[in-house]
Amino acid sequence: MSKSYISRRTLPEFELWDEMKRRKSVLSFDIELTARCNLDCRHCYINLPAGDKTARAGELAADEIERLAGEAAALGAVWCLVTGGEPLLRKDFFDIYLALRKKGLLVSLYTNATLINADHIRFFKKHPPRDIEVTVYGVTRETYEAVTRVPGSFVAFRRGLGLLLESGVKVRLKAMALRSNIHELPRIAEFCRARTKDYFRFDPFLHLRFDSDAARNREIVSERLTPDEIVRIEREDVERFRAMEENCGQFVVPEFAESECTHLFRCGAGKRNFVIGHDGKFKLCVSLLHPECVYDLRNGSLTEAWSEFVPRIRDLKAVRPEYLDRCAKCPIINLCLWCPAHAHLETGCLDAPVDTFCQIAHARESALKKG
């Protein structure tokens, strides 16, 4: 969500990236290598079993990824985030990574670190990534494995993370704020900040499942924190709350109340970034899965998706009166978790309000007023 103050794209990056992003042609993209994962996290919106043969059969092949990376570079992309699922499950991971690098791309990686071994370390030292982000679900075995539901995963996580940190590769740590780990969040923050001096973020928003699995969605909802809990942990994080206060003018915009704009997409989706799904589906952002808003790259080109498909999607207009009268004119929508992608996941509609998001926005506004 580009309007969020916790977006990774608002944080300091390599000097090369700082220079490149000033150019109007610069793009970045995310590529999901797989939806499969070796963990079974309670809150995850995408993970399928590591051995899921159907999911594996539908994944983009290495040569398809190389072709798409070449098209992306030709369009002006300079940075690529490799994600999943768990990308390291791909047996051709090294080949894919090198193919992306050979296209001139800076490559970042999201991983849970549980599969990291000496071969990965030797590879990353020889071919350094821009950075590697690892999520910390807990700092005790009980909490970590209450989230991942895989016995032994905590030991594997600590071993893998230790190897990464000792290697000198740039590692960034993050956390999800969950019902299962809220009691440990202060210790998680302390753990992360002690190991990554320049960067730590946590995310209190849990996406619903991309496959609409009803049972898994109920688990995700059960892991969500209340608006008051979200605001409390944000206030307790001094750096985060200070950033909210300093950027208050971007979050509370009274002029929106007079807006007549009916465009659905007011966020940054599809402006300077796009997502290539594990199954070859092009998306404006990772969460935008409405059937009218995805493009099949196996039956088209990335160039067409970017130059023709994206403008059509960004030109979509809202028609639902409850959105137009409520969200479209809301002066605190930038404090809200609402966007068309999230609205679709929650309600099945791109332009429907989501009461929970509204409650969080008002709780944040109240906290900012109190200071």
Q: What digits encode the pLDDT tens for the residues 336-367?
A: 889 999 999 999 999 999 999 999 999 998 98
d(CA 205, CA 230): 9
pLDDT tens digit sequence for 13-44: 334 434 444 444 579 999 999 999 999 999 99
User: Does a structural domain hold residue 234?
Assistant: no
**The model's pTM:** 0.89
Distance between CA atoms of residues 196 and 205, nearest Å: 23
Statement to judge: residues 211 and 257 lie in one domain: no
**Alpha-carbon distances of 117 from 36, 121, 162, 173, 318, rounded to whole Å:** 19, 7, 10, 18, 49
The domain that contains 112 carries what CATH number? 3.20.20.70
Q: What is the pLDDT of residue 244?
A: 75
Which residue's structure tokens are 């071919």? 127
Q: What is the mean pLDDT of the chain?
A: 90
Closest C-alpha to 283, from 332, 232, 327, 341: 341
**Does residue 285 contact residue 269 with C-beta atoms inside 8 Å?**
yes
Are 312 and 289 found together in one domain? yes
* Same-domain check for residues 292 and 161: yes
Please, what sign has the CA dihedral across residues 344, 347, 349, 350? negative
pLDDT, tens digit, 9 for 90 and up, residues 54-111: 999 999 999 999 999 999 999 999 999 999 999 999 999 999 999 999 999 999 999 9
Q: Are residues 282 and 260 in the same domain?
A: no
Q: List the beta bridge partners of residue 48.
A: 36
Residue 19: its pLDDT value, please?
Answer: 42
The answer for residues whose C-beta is within 8 angstroms of residue 369's C-beta and 6 or more apart is: none
Considering only residues 198 and 116, tell me which one the structure prediction assigns the higher pLDDT: 116
Q: Are residues 218 and 279 in the same domain?
A: yes
- The pairs formed by 153-160 with CB atoms below 8 angstroms and a separation of 24 or more are 153/39, 153/114, 156/113, 156/114, 156/115, 157/112, 157/113, 157/114, 159/116, 160/112, 160/113, 160/114, 160/115, 160/116, 160/117
Which pLDDT score, from 0 to 100, does residue 5 have?
Answer: 29
Q: What pLDDT was estimated at residue 25?
A: 56
Helix (H) or strand (E) holding 172: strand 171-176
Domain that holds residue 208: 8-225+268-316
d(CA 177, CA 228): 13
**CB within 8 Å of 11: residues ≥ 6 apart:** 199
Query: Does residue 219 sit in the same domain as residue 122?
Result: yes
- Of 371, 367, 370, 361, give the one whose Cα is nearest residue 253: 361
In tens, the pLDDT along 220-268 reads: 999 999 999 999 998 888 888 887 777 766 666 777 767 788 999 988 8
Nearest to 356 by CA among 220, 241, 238: 220
- Same-domain pairing of 146 and 37: yes
Percentage of the chain modeled with pLDDT above 70: 90
> Distance between CA atoms of 230 and 102, rounded to whole angstroms?
42
